[in-house]
Amino acid sequence: MLNLISEAAAEQATLSLVSIDPGTIVFTLINTLIIFLIFRIFLFKPVCKILDKRKEMAAAEISDAQKAKESAEKTEQEYLAKLADAKSEAAEIVKAATLRAQAREDEIISEANTKAAEIRAKAEESIERDKQRAVNEIKDEISAMVIMAASKVVEKEISQQENEELISGFLAEVGSAK
């Protein structure tokens, strides 16, 4: 009997699989609609919200990255401009220092030339004074010799020969006095 029941159940199962039952179709459609609504409410909308948020976050990150890139480029341009300004300022400082050094060099050379001219003038003055002193000393000596010679001539009346002897003796005295 069991055999018969199981055969009957098997036949009925075979018939139900192949047969179209409107109740089952409606029940299956309602089940599918309910599952669709449940997926729509509990799965599709939250997943779409998460995807939208993620899309917004990605767009914000891309925007931030673009802003950071623009800021970096702007900073780089400012840096390059400041570097160029610094280079030109350094060149101006070097040029100004060179001009100051050249001016100082010219000033030192001018001072040296002035001092050299003063030293030369003092040396020429000293030479002129020494020359004048020597000339005055020679004049004094000549005057003294003339006075000595004149006093000897006045002391005695001399002949031509005595005059020559007197001059020779006088010259010998003057030569030995030096």
pLDDT tens for the chain, residues 1 to 178: 556 566 655 565 555 555 777 888 899 999 999 999 998 888 888 888 999 999 999 999 999 999 999 999 999 999 999 999 999 999 999 999 999 999 999 999 999 999 999 999 999 999 999 988 888 888 778 777 777 776 766 665 666 777 777 777 777 776 665 5
Cβ count near 145 (within 10 Å): 15
Cα(7)–Cα(156) distance, integer angstroms = 203
Q: Domain-by-domain residue ranges, the chain?
A: 25-177
Q: Where are the beta strands (DSSP E) in 37-115?
A: none
Q: Taking a C-beta distance cutoff of 8 angstroms, is the pair 140, 127 a contact? A: no
Place of tokens 């341009």: 77
